[in-house]
Amino acid sequence: MRKTILVTGGGGFIGSHLCERLLLDGNDVICLDNFFTGSKDNIRHLLSHEGFELVRHDICFPYYAEVDAIYNLACPASPVHYQYNPVHTTKTCVMGSINMLGLAKRRRVPILQASTSEIYGDPVVHPQPESYWGNVNCIGRRSCYDEGKRCAETLFFDYRRQNNVKIKVVRIFNTYGPRMLPNDGRVVSNFIVQALRGEDITLYGTGEQTRSFCFISDLVEALVRMMNTGDDITGPINLGNPVEFTIRQLAELVIAMTDSKSRIVYHPLPDDDPAKRKPDISRAGEILNWQPAVQLREGLVPTIAYFRSKLGV
Ligand code: NAD
Ligand code: UDP
């Protein structure tokens, strides 16, 4: 059945790929974005689609529309951007979630929250299962995002308990692919841009910290599967690729794949930078029958091609 689906943050990296997929599936899409980190370039090709509607709006303020489902993705995701105006980041997570949950409650429609592996903080349990409560500094520079997203999860579960809202909470681990911002400071985009420009590759700390990288198409598939589960499935569910790399390994891989002459230089590790991160995705396997199909080396090919064309190098 053709549905009208609201995607907040639809002009961003993940949101724009999700809008594309939902249109392909035959839905109408309302893409809502304040364009803080998103860009019209990400969705320009969708503007002429008859099922696509673009709304410039900040979710910190209420929004009403007759929608059948809501994906709540609006929030800056890279440390550089979410720390730029930390109060607004917390407002987006908390007030934004209240506004979108209010809409879901009134419409009695499912709402999916893009939560994050950051809610585990600097984890002492490895890999991280959903049952782990995390290790988060509540007063540090990352807290606006980590605690904002934690509070958003609290709100989702309280709206479920209090108002029976159909919630779907997913905890997304590091995801990469075309349409990441060249300047958003995240490691995959930073390294590729630096390698393509022949600039120094900035490795923070020793480079021994780990992350697990999920390609965008795998993530979008999981988001759609999660939304299509029955009302009893609330999550939280981890979504990510469980293959773990050190950040130094990533730097070396990017240098090799771009045939770059860049050298690695060392910078101080940012405050509260998690030492390890790897999702336990057994719950996603059981409930969504999902696991990532694209390995890092494979996903870097279109990502590097995207940045080559974006940078004109
Ligand atoms: P992104 O910055 O590319 O996209 C976020 C979008 O939200 C942007 O288009 C931005 O303009 C918009 N936005 C920000 N604040 C807003 C507000 N107050 N009102 C309306 N729009 C607003 O980031 P992304 O990587 O696409 O992340 C999307 C979501 O997924 C975020 O909620 C993020 O926390 C979550 N997430 C992403 C990752 C990842 O690795 N990419 C990992 C964990 C969680
Ligand atoms: N990082 C790095 N160099 C960069 C950008 C990031 O070494 O130019 C490191 C960062 O310190 C972290 C990891 O790469 O350990 C992932 O950083 P990112 O900002 O992409 O995401 P995070 O998982 O920390 O939110």
CA of residue 178 to ligand 1 center, whole Å: 15
Ligand 1 site, CB within 6 A: 8-9, 11-15, 33-38, 58-60, 73-77, 92, 96, 114, 116, 172, 174-175
What pLDDT, on the 0 to 100 scale, is given for residue 151?
A: 98
Counting the structural domains of the chain, the total is 1
Q: What are the catalytic residues?
A: 145
For residue 152, give the nearest of 142, 130, 167 by alpha carbon: 167
Considering the domain boundaries, does residue 298 fall inside one? no
Query: Is the CB of 202 inside a 6 Å radius of any atom of ligand 2?
Result: yes
CA of residue 110 to ligand 1 center, whole Å: 19
Considering the domain boundaries, does residue 312 fall inside one? no
CA of residue 260 to ligand 1 center, whole Å: 30
Bridging pattern class, strands 69-72 and 4-8:
parallel
pLDDT tens digits, the chain, 313 residues: what are they? 899 999 999 999 999 999 999 999 999 999 999 999 999 999 999 999 999 999 999 999 999 999 999 999 999 999 999 999 999 999 999 999 999 999 999 999 999 999 999 999 999 999 999 999 999 999 999 999 999 999 999 999 999 999 999 999 999 999 999 999 999 899 999 999 999 999 999 999 999 999 999 999 999 999 999 999 999 999 999 999 999 999 999 999 999 999 999 999 999 999 989 999 999 999 999 999 999 999 999 999 999 999 999 999 9
What pLDDT, on the 0 to 100 scale, is given for residue 1?
A: 82
CA dihedral defined by 298, 306, 10, 53, rounded to 10 degrees? -120
Considering the domain boundaries, does residue 304 fall inside one? no
Considering the domain boundaries, does residue 303 fall inside one? no
Q: Which amino acid is at 226?
A: M
Structural domain boundaries enclosing 120: 4-177+215-241+278-292
Q: What is the pTM of this model?
A: 0.98
Considering the domain boundaries, does residue 150 fall inside one? yes
Looking up residue 170, the CATH number of its domain turns out to be 3.40.50.720
Q: Give, using CA atoms, the residue closest to atom 28 of ligand 1.
A: 73
CA of residue 263 to ligand 1 center, whole Å: 31
Considering the domain boundaries, does residue 46 fall inside one? yes
Ligand closest to CA 212: 2
Among 136, 146, 204, residue to substitute to test ligand 2 (most atoms within 8 Å of Cβ) = 204
Considering the domain boundaries, does residue 152 fall inside one? yes
Query: Is the CB of 83 inside a 6 Å radius of any atom of ligand 2?
Result: no
Ligand closest to CA 270: 2
Considering the domain boundaries, does residue 80 fall inside one? yes
